[in-house]
Structure 1
Amino acid sequence: MRTFDKIITDRGSKYAVSGAPCRDGGEARALVEQLRKAKRFARATHNSWGLLGADGPVKNDDGESGAGMIILQQLEAAGMERHLVIVTRWYGGKHLGGDRFRHVRDAVAYYLAALEAGR
């Protein structure tokens, strides 16, 4: 699994993005649990994810309402199938309103660009 940590900071909230090749929802849940074994990610407020898998689109907002759908939309637009993307947020104490959706989009875009660049 590739992880890019501390890529966005806004009003105390911090974001990371992770991902890995993945076949289906069951494997996605196992990969998310693997990520959460790291103490830092276990303490995150949200680990939202999306996957266009063999069994169709699967997502989990993990309390960040709408985040999973944003991830799925970007994966669809990029034609990225069978690849799990997880956007992690550590809440900083101030509500971000609609900016949180922009940050989820930016995190996924960062991940996709890094894959394309071979980082």
Structure 2
Amino acid sequence: MSNLDSFIKSPDEARKAVHHLKHVTHGSRPATHEIAAWRCMVLKTGKTGLGGPDDFEVVGGFDDDGEKYAGNKVLKVMQAEGVIDAVVVVSRWYGGEMLGPARFDHIELCTREVCRTFRLKDDMATCIATLTSLDDILSSLRAELASLTSSKSTPDGSELSNRGVGEQPTSEGGTSAVAAVPTKKTRPSYTAIEESLDVARAQRLITARENSIKSVKQALQKARAQTTPA
């Protein structure tokens, strides 16, 4: 058996994904059954979406593809796992041995595994979007801090030091002091962590970025106070 998960926005997109898998991906080695189920959030008939969540509903469907009762079992696992806006296809090749009712256990297991992977991918996408946003905020704050500490003077006429006023997050959630000198930095790449689906590590990085932002904001307050004329 093999399985497929894919983001979809409508039952029509789900059917197109199943058709592509069946006739293109598996075209050279057709499966005996391509058992599919889908769930997606759609607008209710006559609604515009401006009315909030009540304008939407979750619709689902399935295709046994000759394996009676199998499609509904896939759909029920998707419901239990809380997966929406997705289509799951369990492809089954008959190997010459009759499995009897046990085949449904295998179908449900495949579905459960792919649903959980799908949810991890969804959670990871949210984490990466959050990290990217926090990186932009942190970069902007550091640039502002660097500008203050490099161009302003203290009341006694001496230049403010720009050492130790920023915090650089470490890869595992800690922070270390760094200079706030403006430097040209490459945007962090999250490709490796995204591919690993290590959501816990991504969440630690989010916490590190939030702590760094808090630290730089505190440094900004101090810098502004020192550069404000008495």
Scaled by the length of structure 1, the TM-score of the pair is 0.79
> Alignment partner for residue 62 of structure 2, among 54, 59, 70?
59
Aligned length: 105
Distance 2:103 2:78 in 1: 18
Distance 1:21 1:41 in 2: 25
Distance 1:39 1:17 in 2: 12
Equivalent residue, structure 1, for 2:72: 69
**Residue type at the aligned position of 2:11:** G
Scaled by the length of structure 2, the TM-score of the pair is 0.42
CA separation of 1:68 and 1:41: change in aligned 2, threshold 3 A: farther
Q: Which has the larger helix fraction?
A: 2
List per-residue Cα deviations over 1:33-92 (Å, max 9, x = no partner).
111202457510000111112361110000111111111111111111111000000001
Query: Does the Cα contact within 8 Å between 1:41 and 1:88 map onto a contact in 2?
Result: no
Query: Does the Cα contact within 8 Å between 2:5 and 2:115 map onto a contact in 1?
Result: no
Q: Which has the larger strand fraction?
A: 1
Equivalent residue, structure 2, for 1:16: 2
Ranges of 4+ aligned residues in structure 1 off by more than 4 Å: none
CA drift at 1:108: 0.7
Equivalent residue, structure 2, for 1:98: 101
Please state if 1:45 is matched with 2:48.
Answer: no
Q: Secondary structure at the match of 2:19?
A: helix
State which structure, 1 or 2, has the greater radius of gyration over its C-alpha atoms. 2
* CA-atom RMSD in angstroms: 2.0
Bigger RCO (CA 8 Å, 6+ sep): 1
Query: Does the Cα contact within 8 Å between 1:35 and 1:41 map onto a contact in 2?
Result: no
Q: Identity percentage over the alignment?
A: 28
Gaps (5+ residues) in structure 2? 43-57, 122-196, 199-230
